Amino acid sequence: MPSILKEPRKTIAVNLDETLSQTLDAMLTWHNRYHAPCTADLATMARYWQDDECSSKIRYFYQSDEFDTIQPVNDFALEALKMLKKRGFHLVIITSRQQFIAEETKRFVDKHYPGIFESIYFCNLGLTNEEQRNYVSKRKSTICQEIGVDVLIDHQLENCKDCANIGVDVLLYDPTGHQQQKKQGLDGIKRVKTWREIIHHHFPKPNSPLRHLVYSYSQSPPMEMDNDGDNSDDDNDNDNDDYQMDQDGNEIILLSEDDGDGVGDGVGSWL
């Protein structure tokens, strides 16, 4: 007996900082207000979670107005995620942040991406000795294995490499091209510049099993008449494959399975 169970939903994990939020801009604004001016690019973002000096500063940043007013990326992210959610993907966040700011993190996600994500996982990078008594650090690849991630969208190349090595399909979100010069070790990694590119090129709209919902009689060819002025088809020929009788004895037209419009014929490999 064939199974009627649906295939398991594919899980897409999304990084938070610099993939969904403009965290670095807010961090630099805060830093330059209270400390010596500095500049940074996305390639140095990982050090903010692991370097001892930055790890200390970031605890103060968490308590600042700038942290509370971090803005989402202005790049079609919400719209793209809504499309993926509607198609039945299981969407989660895996962030390098620490779990003690889980409430603030959830507040940001609920405000800017309401109803999109089902879970938020914290890697707890850059924990102090005191914090390690209460929290455990994990690599993103470890969490991906534990929860069965199929696709990761992240802006950090090292995270992407790590997850690609365990068989996860990876999209390196690189809107500014900072990772462009890093050509080595990109097996299994696809570089993308925008969320529009993510949705249109890597998750194209699948074909629908029901495409012809209306039959237009104006598009039908005229019926040929026989010598008696009757339809050339036999009146009793109601077992034609294209027709069927309803319970009231009326002919109904069976819907075609052929799309015919040629749109969206190719389904993405990750669907």
The residues annotated with a catalytic role in the active site are 17
Q: Which residues pair with 13 in a beta bridge?
A: 92, 152
Nearest to 14 by CA among 199, 155, 136: 155
What is the spatial distance between Cα 233 and Cα 114, in angstroms, rounded to a whole number? 58
The two structure tokens encoding residue 257: 């399975």
Give CB contacts under 8 A, 24+ apart, made by 192-195: 194/75, 194/76, 195/73, 195/75, 195/76, 195/77, 195/79, 195/80
Q: Which helix or strand (DSSP H or E) is residue 66 part of?
A: helix 65-68
Q: What are phi and psi of 79, to 5 degrees?
A: -65, -45
Residue 2 is classified by DSSP as -
Nearest to 19 by CA among 127, 165, 143, 179: 179
Strands 11-14 and 243-245 turn out to be unpaired
The DSSP symbol for 218 reads G
CB-CB contact of 189 with 153 (8 Å): no
